[in-house]
Amino acid sequence: SRQRLKRLITTEARTQCGRRIELLANIELPDDVKGVVDAGADGVGLFRSEFLFMNRKEWPSEDEQFEAYRKVIKAMKGKPVTVRTLDLGADKTLQFDGANSSAPPVSSTSALGLRSIRFSLAEPAIFLTQIRALLRAAKTGPVKILLPMLTNIRETKQALAYIDMAREQLQERRFQANQVVPIGGMIEVPAAALSLPQFLKYLDYVSIGTNDLIQYTLAVDRVDHQVAHLYDPLHPAVLRLVFEVINSAEKAGVPVSVCGEMAGDIRLTRLLLGMGLTQYSMHPSQLLDVKELLLKTDFDATQKLVRKVTRTFDIEKVDALMRQLHSD
């Protein structure tokens, strides 16, 4: 079956009826890009940049980050590379005391604490260094910047202001970095999902981080095995949020992707398709299975069933509809 899937590497991802779907890949370190190229992905949909900062004793310099980003961009040969800015905290911790100033060591922040974009905004020198590296790398190929864990518009505007500041700093150093780099935001906090229209005004695209969106919506720690049975992507509240975000973004003409684990789970591929999703980002090892399923899926029939899924709060009905969705 691996052999059969291999034949799909160069096949464009489309539904049976011809709807083009972009299948992107998630990576943690630059070397992971080989798997992305081998899987024939349409781009990198999520480069979890914090892995460049982990398992080491000091902050990576601007040049070191620039080289890491450039390596990925080069390997992707013109396909887009989405780099998420530092998403430290909770399960992703530093090996050193990260605090440069007033911030507490990031090694001890909780899922609800000063982590992710909150940390970056509390430590502007570190954030600006990363953005400068990214803007420089963006001269070597298509890069998109992705801001994690946005909760309110104030921090979104602050992050955008720092990106402008980084651009000015580069200009002062005579690096030309004034090219347009799309800036997107992760929708992974229920508050952001519920106030999406405001975010769509300031962002060029959004990406749904279902891993955290599920955790925060259901109040279930995603790394606590004792509550793993409560971590449910099919909870009607989660389905509503995911559908609302895909639907509103699409209506507003703002590109939307899903980059959490839901995107690479073939049990959920049709569900997301029926919600209107056209960009999936997943672990490269899942990409061909998702493609194979999409190729034999009819969009209209899927959408019809999924509309029913998004309208019910009855979990038994959800289960029945999900079975129907995969009855062929």
Catalytic residues: 259
Q: Quote the CA–CA distance of 55 and 172 in Å, as a whole number.
A: 33
Contact call for residues 280 and 289 (beta carbons, < 8 A): no
Which of 209, 233, 264, 284 lies at the binding interface for Mg ion (CB under 5 A)? Answer: 209
Q: Which of 267, 273, 270, 269 is nearest to 246 (CA)?
A: 273
The token duo for 106 is 């990031």
In what helix (H) or strand (E) does residue 213 lie, and over which residues does it extend?
Answer: helix 210-218
Stretch that binds Mg ion, among 35-43, 93-101, 184-192, 217-225 (CB under 5 A): 184-192
Minimum gap (Å) between residue 87 Cβ and ligand PEP: 6
Residue type, 298: D
Interface positions, 83-122, toward ligand PEP (CB under 6 A): 87
Of 8-16, 75-83, 127-135, 205-213, the segment contacting ligand PEP by CB under 6 A is 205-213
Q: Shortest distance, CB of residue 189 to ligand PEP, whole angstroms?
A: 10
Is 70 one of the annotated binding-site residues?
no
12 is in an annotated binding site: no
Q: How far is the CB of 210 from ligand PEP (least distance, A)?
A: 5
Nearest to 76 by CA among 280, 237, 284: 284
| 32 versus 212: smaller Cβ distance to Mg ion | 212
Identity of the amino acid at 51: F
* Distance (Å, whole) CA 163 – CA 153: 15
Decide if residue 212 touches ligand PEP (CB under 6 A): yes
The helix or strand, by DSSP H or E, that contains position 44, with its residue range, turns out to be strand 44-48
Q: Is 212 annotated as a binding residue?
A: yes
Of 16, 107, 158, 211, the one binding ligand PEP by CB under 6 A: 211
Name which position in 49, 65, 109, 210 contacts ligand PEP (CB under 6 A): 210
Least separation in angstroms between CB 116 and Mg ion: 8
Instruction: Return the residue of 40, 43, 45, 48 that touches ligand PEP, per CB under 6 A.
Output: 48
User: Under rule CB under 6 A, how many of the chain's residues touch ligand PEP?
Assistant: 10
CA 183 to CA 145: how far, in whole Å?
5
Binding positions for ligand PEP, 232-291, rule CB under 6 A: 259-260
Other Cβ atoms closer than 10 A to 10: 7
User: HEC states along 137-192?
Assistant: HCCCCCEEEEECCCCCHHHHHHHHHHHHHHHHHHHHCCCCCCCCCCEEEEECCHHH
Dist CA 316 CA 302 (whole Å): 19
Q: Applying CB under 6 A, does 217 fall inside the site for ligand PEP?
A: no
50 binds Mg ion (CB under 5 A): no
Annotated binding-site positions for Mg(2+): 188, 212
Site residues (CB under 6 A) for ligand PEP? 46, 48, 87, 188, 209-212, 259-260
Annotated binding-site positions: 48, 84, 188, 211-212, 222
